[in-house]
Amino acid sequence: MPSRVTKIVSIAALAATVLISPGGKLIEVRAADSRGESQSKAEYSATTQKDQSDLSVTVYNSNIALVRDVRQIRLQPGVFPLRFEDVAASIMPATVHFRSLTDPSKLNVIEQNYEYDLLDPQKLLNKYVGKEVSFEWQGMQTKALLLSDNGGPVWKIGNQIVTGLSVGSYRFPELPDNLYSRPTLVWTLDNRGGDAQKVEASYLANSMNWNADYVLTVARDEKTADLDGWVTLVNNSGAAYHDAKLQLVAGDVHRTPEVMREERDMVAKSMAMNAGSMQFAQENFSEYHLYTLGRRTSIQNNESKQISLLTGTNIRVEKYLQVEGQQYYYRNPQGIGNAIPQPVKVFYRFKNEQQAGLGMPLPAGTVRVYQADSQGGAQFAGEDNIAHTPKDENLRIYVGNAFDVVCERKATDYKKIAYDLYEMEYQITLRNHKNGPVTVEVREPIGGDWQVVNSNYKWTKLDVSTIGFQIPVAKDGTATLDYRVRVKW
Give me the DSSP letters along 370-418.
EEE-TTS-EEEEEEEEE--B-TT-EEEEEEEE-SSEEEEEEEEEEEEEE
- Is 39 a residue whose pLDDT tops 70? no
Of the CA atoms within 13 Å of residue 166, those in its CB half-sphere come to 2
Mean pLDDT within 117-141: 68
Work out the pLDDT band at 116, boundaries 50, 70, 90: low
Mean pLDDT within 303-323: 92
Interatomic CA distance for residues 302 and 130, integer angstroms: 38
The distance from CA 9 to its chain's CA centroid, rounded to whole angstroms, is 43
Q: Please tell me which of 110-114, 293-297, 438-442 the model is most confident about, judged by mean pLDDT.
A: 438-442
DSSP state of 5: -
**N-terminal to C-terminal alpha carbon distance within the chain:** 77
Mean pLDDT within 100-127: 77
> What is the structure's pLDDT at 328?
55
Interatomic CA distance for residues 228 and 397, integer angstroms: 15
Domains plus CATH for the chain?
405-488 (2.60.40.290)
- Is 331 a residue whose pLDDT tops 60? no
- Is 109 a residue whose pLDDT tops 50? yes
Which residue, among 281, 308, 310, 277, has the nearest Cα to 295 in the 3D structure? 277
> What is the structure's pLDDT at 453?
95
- Is 352 a residue whose pLDDT tops 50? yes
Interatomic CA distance for residues 37 and 16, integer angstroms: 14
> What is the structure's pLDDT at 53?
95
Interatomic CA distance for residues 454 and 488, integer angstroms: 16
Interatomic CA distance for residues 400 and 308, integer angstroms: 27
Task: Residue 45: count other Cβ atoms within 10 Å of its Cβ.
Answer: 20
Interatomic CA distance for residues 94 and 113, integer angstroms: 10
Q: 422-455: string of b/e by CB count within 10 Å (b at 16+)?
A: bebbbbbbbbbeeeeebebbbebbbeeebeeeee
Torsion sign (Cα): 8, 11, 15, 19? positive
Number of residues that this document lists for the chain: 489
The residue that leads in pLDDT, 292 or 162, is 292
Average per-residue pLDDT for the chain: 81
> What is the structure's pLDDT at 15?
38
Q: 139-160: string of b/e by CB count within 10 Å (b at 16+)?
A: eeeeebbbeebeeebbbeeeee
What are the φ/ψ torsions at residue 314 (nearest 5 degrees)?
Answer: 50, 45
The residue that leads in pLDDT, 127 or 263, is 127
Q: 294-330: string of b/e by CB count within 10 Å (b at 16+)?
A: eeeeebeeeeeeebebbebeebebebebbbebeeebe
pLDDT in tens, 255-289: 665 443 433 333 333 333 333 334 688 887 777 88
Mean pLDDT within 430-447: 94
- Is 450 a residue whose pLDDT tops 70? yes
> What is the structure's pLDDT at 4?
41
What are the φ/ψ torsions at residue 338 (nearest 5 degrees)?
Answer: -100, 145
Work out the pLDDT band at 250, boundaries 50, 70, 90: confident
Task: Residue 399: count other Cβ atoms within 10 Å of its Cβ.
Answer: 20
Mean pLDDT within 318-339: 73
pLDDT in tens, 379-394: 999 999 999 899 999 9
Burial class (CB in 10 A: 0-12, 13-18, 19+), 77: exposed
Torsion sign (Cα): 312, 314, 315, 321? positive
- Is 246 a residue whose pLDDT tops 60? yes
DSSP conformation letters of 212-276: EEEEEEE-TTSSEEEEEEEEEEEE-SS--EEEEEEEEEES-----SS--HHHHHHHHHGGG----
Interatomic CA distance for residues 469 and 322, integer angstroms: 10
Interatomic CA distance for residues 262 and 3, integer angstroms: 31
> What is the structure's pLDDT at 120?
55
> What is the structure's pLDDT at 429?
97
Mean pLDDT within 148-152: 77
Contact 357, 363 (CB under 8 A): no
Which residue, among 195, 226, 237, has the nearest Cα to 91 in the 3D structure? 237
Q: Please tell me which of 1-10, 39-48, 140-149, 434-443 the model is most confident about, judged by mean pLDDT.
A: 434-443
> What is the structure's pLDDT at 168?
62
Mean pLDDT within 104-123: 76
The beta strand positions in 45-168, using DSSP E, are 45-47, 52-60, 64-74, 78-85, 97-100, 107-115, 132-137, 140-149, 153-157, 160-163
> What is the structure's pLDDT at 148?
79
> What is the structure's pLDDT at 61?
86
- Is 229 a residue whose pLDDT tops 50? yes
Contact 475, 467 (CB under 8 A): no
> What is the structure's pLDDT at 152?
77
Task: Residue 59: count other Cβ atoms within 10 Å of its Cβ.
Answer: 25
Least confident of 179-193, 261-275, 318-332, 406-420: 261-275
> What is the structure's pLDDT at 129?
77
